[in-house]
Amino acid sequence: MRQVAEAVELRHPLEAYTRKGMIPHIWCAGCGNGIILNAFLKALDELKFDMNKLAVISGIGCMGRIAGYINADAFHTTHGRAIALAFGLKVVRPELKVVVISGDGDLFAIGGNHFIHAARRNVDMLVICANNFNYGMTGGQVGPTTPLGARTTTTPYENIEHPFNLVQLAAAAGAIYVARWTVIHPRRLKESIKKALMKRGFCFIEVISACTEGYGRRNKLRTALEFMRWLKEVSVMAKGVGPEEAYIGRDRIVVGEFVDIEGKPEYTDLLWRLINDIRARAKRGELRVAL
């Protein structure tokens, strides 16, 4: 029996979706990034997604590591440029499903301009933001989503900067699908990712993630259990409400789906339609360009 047991190869059910030798990950104990990775991989598995049609882009920060864990074409780009690179990739390879997975500092501080214009253009990509309320990798500094009154290494007394509401920002910029979950909602997150992967246009999912080392220990959430308990206590499920109801603060976090529309023209469809039309007109000698 022992020989039989030793001969059985134990394999992780999501092994096919991860790079060999890269798991287990190196994120801190209690970090929510592993939950986000797991939800994303399960969504791919349940959709039987063609990995040859997937590209994953990440930026700098704790969540930027995720590009190296997923067994797909991936790129770990420079700080704030994940969406810019993803945009360029989508233009030249419009048949790919491009997914950007990065942190709140990367996407909404130095990368904020890229986000709003990709949403405005309705570029077909899914952006998943791990929002842990601080710059977790570089020392726990204040970031664009840090709640008012919170403490960080650069706001040791309290944060007095008004944070972005990412749901409202994405909706106002033109995203066709906008949702917010926390890492205590892994099944709802997985289903949300599945839905977004099947839509054509700019989709955004915010995931409130636990960061016990950078944010938690300075804000009375020193352990993963304390952080998860707090997320459970303050999370409020929203049903059938718009982004204007997507309140987020230290006392309450409204989660759910806030935008879900169909039929909005997608940027690369319009772009390649125009390119092909111009090529055809030029071939027929009909095109005149005024200089």
3-class DSSP state for residue 269? Answer: helix
Give 98's strand partners.
55, 125
- Residue 81 maps to which CATH number? 3.40.50.970
Q: What is the pLDDT of residue 8?
A: 54
pLDDT of residue 289: 64
CA-closest candidate to residue 109, choices 87, 129, 88, 125: 129
Q: Which domain holds residue 144?
A: 10-261
In a domain, 280, yes or no: no
Residue 2 has pLDDT above 90, yes or no: no
- Mean pLDDT within 134-159: 93
Neighbouring-strand partners of residue 137: none
Q: Is 169 exposed, middle or buried (0-12, 13-18, 19+ CB in 10 A)?
A: buried
Q: Tell me the helices (H) and strands (E) count for the chain, helix number first.
A: 9, 8
The DSSP annotation for 164-199 comes to: P-HHHHHHHHT-SEEEEEETT-HHHHHHHHHHHHTS
How far is residue 198's CA from residue 203's CA, in Å, rounded to a whole number? 10
Confidence check: pLDDT of 286 > 70? yes
In a domain, 273, yes or no: no
pLDDT(7) > 70: no
CB atoms under 10 Å from CB of 153, counted, come to 14
pLDDT tens digit sequence for 70-126: 999 999 999 989 999 999 999 999 999 999 999 999 999 999 999 999 999 999 999
pLDDT at residue number 1: 47
pLDDT at residue number 16: 86
What is the band of 15 on the pLDDT scale with cuts at 50, 70, 90? Answer: confident
pLDDT for position 209: 96
Instruction: Identify the weakest region by mean pLDDT among 17-31, 177-191, 265-279.
Output: 17-31
Average pLDDT score, the chain = 92
Q: How confident is the model at residue 140 (pLDDT cuts 50, 70, 90)?
A: confident
**What confidence tier does 17 reach under pLDDT thresholds 50, 70, 90?**
confident
Q: Considering the domain boundaries, does residue 192 fall inside one?
A: yes
For residue 286, tell me if it sits in a domain.
Answer: no
Residue 112 placed within a domain: yes
* Amino acid found at 188: R
- Under a CB-based contact definition with an 8 Å cutoff, are residues 287 and 278 in contact? yes
In the predicted structure, residue 291 carries a pLDDT above the cut 50: no
Of the candidates 123, 76, 99, which has an alpha carbon nearest to the alpha carbon of residue 265? 123
C-alpha angle 245/246/251, rounded to 5°? Answer: 105
pLDDT tens, 190-200? 999 999 999 99
> What pLDDT does residue 50 have?
95
> Residue 3 — left, alpha, or beta (φ > 0 → left; ψ -120 to 50 → alpha)?
alpha
Question: Does residue 268 lie in a domain region?
Answer: no
Whether residue 193 is contained in a domain is answered as yes
Q: CA end-to-end span of the chain, whole Å?
A: 82
Task: Check if the beta carbon of residue 26 is closer than 8 Å to that of residue 213.
Answer: no
Name the domain count of the chain: 1
For the segment 48-56, the average pLDDT, to the nearest whole number, is 96
Q: Examine residue 272 and state whether it is found in any structural domain, yes or no.
A: no
